[in-house]
């Protein structure tokens, strides 16, 4: 891995490099994605099934697009019982964590005759996109569905590309069933996003779409935003390890590579105050790469977006971490809890040498759907709040409005909105 001294120029160059990974920069896909969306919006099922045949080489129709109960039973039987038990334990951890995020409606009744409050209502329907085909992503299934189930969403729809045999990966399907999906459809790509956003004869529309996907899925979610809500336009995965001389270079190298193996656009960055650690991590990463199955992806990822930044002080290292605002941030220092208090921008923070990033991906409980590409500066991890909506509650008695009506009328007239003022004034005409 390349080793660079951390200074203002290297920080600027790094941020400029990382920005190239932003899905919003891939404008060359917009026209193709929009064409698919428009086709599905007009031709509905016919377009969805045509694209599924074209891209996934699967023959799907109105008769088999929705997963049946018998297919779910087959998937459960086909999944290794030991893996099912792991999924159940992970599910329990994720549900327990998200249960603590639940909010209640509240009302504040005052002696002056006013009641103000906030009503919490779960969304009626959400669509969860899960990548599919040959791959299985049960962790993605759990992380997207469980918060919706905890929030009380009554209709949780999962879409995922089928294999060439027209079937959903059994592990993915088993996880969806255990997590609480109410419907599963065999469709993927931009056409699946369009179907969820606008509805077809076979796939009723939803109110919000969540879940990761390739660049076509990301651009499709961006294109339908406004017709439905979305969680985010997710970018490639990334990790930043903040470490001092006490860190174990073997652990740090392993953790950096755990994200670099996702794809060639993944980012793996070490920021450290120790040149000795930097050199040891670089050497260890090279050794690991030769042992790991995705070595070609790892090499390309590190060549593109792998960095080891050596800072003069921990304060400089922390400042760089806050500026980069990484999706995953590991703190491997003498006192990680103290460092954590100075972190402002990160999707998920892992503290200590035994809290490696895959712990969060699969098992600990906090959500692994996280803000990427520096958006941790203003976005949060996926959670229960993403599956609810809030309504303001306002009640004034006649006496309460009487005490305030002249102030409201003056405010409205100052803005030139005389009908606003009149709406209040007419209620007290007899007292003029």
- Return the active site residues: 327-328
> CA torsion sign, 335 to 320 to 357 to 176?
positive
Task: Quote the crossing angle between the two packed helices 81-99 and 170-179, to the nearest 10°.
Answer: 40
Query: Please, which residues bridge with residue 239 across strands?
Result: 268, 328
Contact 376, 136 (CB under 8 A): no
Cα–Cα distance, 269 to 160 (Å, whole number): 32
Where residue 374 falls (left for φ over 0; alpha for ψ -120 to 50; beta otherwise) is left
């Amino acid at each position: 891995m390349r080793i660079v001294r951390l200074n203002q120029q290297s920080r600027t160059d790094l941020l400029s490099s990382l920005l190239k990974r932003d899905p919003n920069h891939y404008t060359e896909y917009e026209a193709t994605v929009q064409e698919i969306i428009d086709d599905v919006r007009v031709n509905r099922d016919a377009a969805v099934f045509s694209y599924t045949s074209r891209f996934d080489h699967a023959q799907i129709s109105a008769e088999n697009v929705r997963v049946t109960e018998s297919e779910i039973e087959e998937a459960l039987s086909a999944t290794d019982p030991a893996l099912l038990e792991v999924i159940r334990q992970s599910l329990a951890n994720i549900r327990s964590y998200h249960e603590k995020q639940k909010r209640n409606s509240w009302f504040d009744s005052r002696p002056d005759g006013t009641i103000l409050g906030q009503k919490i209502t779960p969304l009626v329907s959400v669509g969860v996109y899960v990548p599919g085909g040959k791959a299985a992503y049960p962790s993605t299934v759990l992380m997207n569905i469980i918060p919706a189930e905890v929030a009380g969403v009554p209709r949780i729809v999962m879409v995922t590309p089928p294999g060439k045999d027209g079937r959903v990966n059994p592990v993915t399907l088993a996880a969806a069933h255990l997590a609480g999906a109410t419907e599963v459809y065999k469709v993927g790509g931009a056409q699946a996003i369009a179907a969820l956003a606008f509805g077809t004869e076979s796939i009723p529309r939803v109110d919000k779409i969540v879940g990761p996907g390739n660049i076509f899925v990301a651009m499709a979610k961006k294109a339908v935003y406004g017709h439905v809500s979305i969680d985010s336009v997710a970018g490639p995965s990334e990790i930043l390890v903040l470490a001092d001389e006490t860190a174990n270079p073997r652990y740090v190298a392993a953790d950096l590579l755990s994200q670099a193996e996702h794809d060639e656009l993944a980012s793996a960055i070490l920021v450290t105050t120790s040149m000795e650690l930097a050199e040891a991590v670089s050497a260890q990463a090279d050794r690991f790469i030769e042992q790991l199955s995705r070595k070609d992806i790892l090499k390309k990822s590190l060549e593109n977006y792998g960095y080891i930044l050596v800072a003069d002080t921990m304060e400089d290292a922390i400042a760089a971490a806050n500026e980069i605002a990484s999706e995953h941030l590991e703190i491997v220092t003498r006192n990680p809890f103290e460092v954590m208090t100075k972190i402002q921008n990160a999707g998920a923070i892992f503290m200590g040498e035994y809290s490696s990033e895959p712990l969060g991906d699969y098992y600990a409980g906090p959500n692994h759907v996280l803000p990427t590409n520096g958006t941790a500066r203003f976005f949060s991890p996926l959670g229960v709040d993403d599956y609810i909506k809030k309504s303001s509650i306002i009640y004034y008695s006649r006496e309460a409005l009487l005490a305030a009506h002249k102030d409201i009328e003056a405010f409205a007239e100052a803005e030139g909105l005389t009908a606003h003022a009149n709406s209040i004034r007419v209620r007290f005409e007899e007292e003029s």
